[in-house]
Chain A
Amino acid sequence: MSARDRTRNWLLGIWSAAALLYLFIPVFLIVLFSFNDNKGRFNFTWQGFTLDHWAHPFRDPDLAKALVTSLEIAALTTLGAVALGTFLALALTRYRFRGRGPANFAVFLPMATPEVVLGASLLAMFLVVGIDTGFWTIVIAHIMFTVSYVVVTVRARLEGMDPFIEEAAQDLGAGVWTTFFKVTFPMIAPGVVAAAVLAAAISIDDYVVTSFNAGQTQTFPLFIFGATRQGVPAEVNVLGTMLLLGVLVLMGLNLLVQKALNRRDRGIAAEPPSGTPTQAELEPAAA
């Protein structure tokens, strides 16, 4: 290895470290300030270490309730979006029908539309139809804009799959549903799991669309935003950290599931999994 290569590697490493620092400092501060022994209503300056907030994270009953609501909404959203999105992706990749092109394009619309517009028009729609906004309108709204992400994720998996495999299942006597449950679903499972994690994560932290359609319902992001007007309790940092850990656990589980499924398809003597982006990022650049 020449000196020039070495210098280049060093520069690359420093540059990457700086970029990662930029990404992680805010997250780190949230975690750090969950241990801040703050006096008064604000939690913006470091005043000493304490575990108090961690001892009673749900001291504010409204905060606890908001978190539970958010988790419930996320669970329902994930179920709804995965069910709808998986079959929509299946239809878009496996069948030729009139309007397939426009449908393929329309799937992207909720992702491209500004969230404010999406939220406002959803609210307008609920008002016109005469539905009171609240828990269920949030669920409907969340399903609506997470379906796109599910479709995109699952479709990528379906497109990489040999369509003759499904024909082979039918050829061997499997009907439509048996083919789906015995062959198609096990094969697209990594995509479905990834899509579910994505839908849950997007739902839990959505503020804009939710704020339009929440009515009297408080979700976790709505509560925090409201709370900042009178000062942020440190419990917010605690719950935020918990949520962060929760999402990390979800992502870790996702990674494990992907690896297990990969191993399943490759047999015992698996070659190293072909570099998924997460895998590549985890490898130290210095190697």
Chain B
Amino acid sequence: MVANESLVADQTRDVSGDGEPDIRLTRVTKRFGDVLVIDDLDLEIERGAFYALLGPSGCGKTTTLRMIGGFELPTEGVVRLGGTEVTNAPPHKRDVNTVFQSYALFPHLTIEKNVAFGLERKRVSKSEVKARVAEALETVQLPHLAKRKPAQLSGGQQQRVALARALVNRPRALLLDEPLGALDLRLRRQLQVELKRIQQEVGITFIHVTHDQEEAMSMADTIAVMNRGKIEQAGSATDLYERPTTAFVAKFLGISNLVDAEIGATDGTMARVTTHDGAPLLAPANRCAEHAGTPVRIGVRPEKVRLSKQGEPVASDRNVLRGRVVLSSFLGVSLQYVIETAGGEELTVYCQNEDGVAPDAFGAGQEVQLSWDPRHTFVVARGDDGD
């Protein structure tokens, strides 16, 4: 269960990687004129990882990718590929390949020639070019279109050709800049699965830039959430979802339900937390440690919360807040409630439709209790909203 994993992973957070990471950005800053786009960024990507750079538009994720590819040069800092510094090397001297959002296929060349372009530049023998192009087109399941021109292909097919054209060079890493952004939803989901399969097959490091959190979560091993030129938090999808460390990450990956609070005394593995309106709660002590002495907000994901009628007994080890139902809607598989707490926040709660409850089980205006396992409480710094 995802939830249980979230409870143990705090301790095993540090992945011990020996040797040099595949891609390493050290203290990289990028300015366009006076505009600071990347702000003192450190980034390490292990060999063979599927790494996603996730963030809203303008957060610097594409610029970061372009600095790895060599299309932008950092104002300050160092870029290394496999231990070799390439900070100011031109794109054609770097052992990485890019899949562009617009695909950027060569319109005057056949699909075959498009895919062969990189190998021909490397002066690979004709017979080997032929074999590897065929193999690459096989990988993306388009061998029958080798003689066509890009304009004769659909968007999804062009996307696959762009992928084959990059993969055929067997680069150290593949850089994908919103590669599915131009496709419709159904095709996007299908290609997500395919991309993941291809990555596992070829074992090349993939760096995937996207603004779609669902896409990042379903595909990447590691996600770095970027905001205003910095990485807010990097980790697995569960890390980011269950234990966001900033309000921005909490809000960017789903509904966050944040409440202003003060951290109190630590009691074993749990720390006492008091909300701004005085409700006593508990939160994991290790998540509070880094925020000791600073104003914080505590949060809980909507599906972790259980609702009960006012006055009904609740197990003593659970966090409880009181509130009033503002809105309840029946979604079939679940019920969604918006609750206004005693402290004035509007929190969202999802309840599984386990026993066919009537949609008005908790009707608007009803007084309720919200309760959740304290271990699901996360803690973020206050003030830094990232909105």
Which residues of chain A have a CB within 8 Å of any CB of chain B? Answer: 162, 164-165, 167-175, 178, 182-183, 186-187, 261, 264-269
Contacts and interface: CB of A to CB of B under 8 A. Distances in A.
Interface residues of B, number: 27
A164 B117 contact: no
A165 B148 CA distance: 18
Contacts of B149: 264-268
B100 interface: yes
A170 B72 CA distance: 13
A265 B108 contact: yes
A187 B104 CA distance: 12
B299 interface: no
Contacts of A187: 106-108
B150 to A, nearest CB: 8
A167 B106 contact: no
A171 B106 contact: no
A196 B111 CA distance: 30
A174 B121 contact: yes
Given A172-B97, A173-B92, A173-B118, A165 B152 contact: no
Nearest to A183: B106
Contact of A178 (B69, B97, B121, B165): B121
A167 B91 contact: yes
Interface string B175-198: 000000000000000000000000
Contact of B100 (A167, A178, A261, A268): A167
Contacts of B165: 168, 172
Contacts of B106: 165, 168-169, 183, 187
B71 A167 contact: yes
A267 B151 contact: yes
Given A168-B104, A169-B117, A173-B122, 11 more contacts: A164-B100, A164-B102, A165-B106, A167-B91, A167-B98, A170-B91, A172-B117, A173-B121, A264-B149, A266-B149, A267-B152
B344 interface: no
Contacts of B100: 164, 167-168
B377 interface: no
B245 interface: no
- Which among B69, B100, B106, B165 has the greatest number of chain A C-beta atoms within 10 A? B106
